[in-house]
Amino acid sequence: MPLLLGLAFGCCLIFFLLHSWVPIQLLIASLPAVGMGLLEDVTKRIGPKPRLLATFVAAIIAYFWFNAALLRLDIPWADSLLAQSMIFSLLITIVAVGGVAHAVNIIDGYNGLSGVVAIFVFLAMSYVAFKVQDPELLGVCFAMVGAVAGFLFWNFPRGLIFAGDGGAYLVGFMIAEISVLLVQRHPSVSPWFPLLCVIYPVFETMFSIYRRKFLQNRAVGYPDALHLHQIIYKRVVLWMVGSKDAGHLTQRNSLTSPYLWALSSFSVVPAMLFWNKTPVLIGFVLVFMFTYVRLYRMIIRFRTPRWLLLRKTPR
């Protein structure tokens, strides 16, 4: 709820300064996804499928209300289909928006993790919005940075408040919709720019699906504790392992996040630098995926380099 209030204040300010309805439209379109997330936070009875479907509904509202449509992938055959078929464009758009929103929710597990990653992404997008002279999207990016930064003040490192599913879906939905609008409005922006920005949570989701379906022979939605941030917490952050002190547990939780901040920065920084160069962006996407899998295998096989381990033994 604090994130939603912060964004609402920022959107109203942008409307007052620029007389643009786009920020308000984005905020209203997000409500189905945010509302279903908040319902899960309150009741703990809403599964991932209803939340994902609510995000699809939010994406459909944005698609038809203010033309938030994904019309380019910089893949010739796909671009031809997108240009000729509204149904194909709509399907690609809702899957992309819903997928990103759900992916951000997946990495929302440790104090400061998803919040700082989101700030990285919004800052990269604000830079590109500035370069292409889009004050509306630039303003929304800054509004989200302000809202998330205010939340992080209480969330990291002490964990006094949490975003919950409602906050995570709001952040993910806004990242996805700003990405779609940047690509749709400005031909110079490569569609691979936003993908590289969010490749960490997106590939985390894709790898989890692969791991559960093909390696564990389980349902895709089966919960486990084998996400990268969870195995880093268990096998890399060995600070005060075994201590039952609440302060120690909170601090160990917070010490996990910087590892993933660093990993995310390895994709966000090149995305920002090469935002209009599709071949280079594709190369960095492939490099990130290779790095992620290699890092995951090292940790899961207890081959983590010593310099990455964080140790402190309880007395």
Q: Which is more confidently placed, 190 or 45?
A: 190
Which pair of structure tokens corresponds to residue 199? 């490749």
Tell me, what's the pLDDT at 33? Answer: 94
Question: Angle, to 10 degrees, between the axis of helix 86-106 and the axis of helix 76-84?
Answer: 120
Tell me, what's the pLDDT at 95? Answer: 95
CA dist., res. 236 & res. 184, Å (int) = 41
Per-residue pLDDT at 216 exceeds 90: no
Per-residue pLDDT at 221 exceeds 80: no
- Band (315; pLDDT cuts 50, 70, 90): low
User: Among candidates 107, 25, 37, 96, which has minimal Cα distance to 66?
Assistant: 25
Q: What are phi and psi of 146, to 5 degrees?
A: -65, -45
For residue 237, what are the β-bridge partners? 310
Per-residue pLDDT at 220 exceeds 80: no
Tell me, what's the pLDDT at 247? Answer: 87
Question: Angle, to 10 degrees, between the axis of helix 113-131 and the axis of helix 164-185?
Answer: 20
User: Among candidates 284, 290, 233, which has minimal Cα distance to 260?
Assistant: 233
In the three-class reduction of DSSP (H, G, I as helix; E, B as strand; rest coil), residue 237 is classed as strand
pTM, full prediction? 0.95
**For residue range 105-123, what is the model confidence (pLDDT) as tens digits?**
999 889 999 999 999 999 9
Which residue's structure tokens are 């379109």?
Answer: 29
Residues 6 or more apart whose Cβ sits within 8 Å of residue 200: 107, 117, 260, 263, 264, 267, 288, 292
**For residue range 150-169, what is the model confidence (pLDDT) as tens digits?**
999 999 988 888 888 999 99
Per-residue pLDDT at 31 exceeds 90: yes
Per-residue pLDDT at 284 exceeds 80: yes
Tell me, what's the pLDDT at 214? Answer: 85
Per-residue pLDDT at 63 exceeds 70: yes
Residues 6 or more apart whose Cβ sits within 8 Å of residue 38: 1, 164, 165, 166
Q: Which is more confidently placed, 222 or 52?
A: 52
Instruction: DSSP letter for 227, please.
Output: S
Q: Which is more confidently placed, 213 or 32?
A: 32
Tell me, what's the pLDDT at 46? Answer: 85
**For residue range 170-185, what is the model confidence (pLDDT) as tens digits?**
999 999 999 999 999 9
CA dist., res. 120 & res. 107, Å (int) = 14
Element (H, E) at 239: strand 237-239
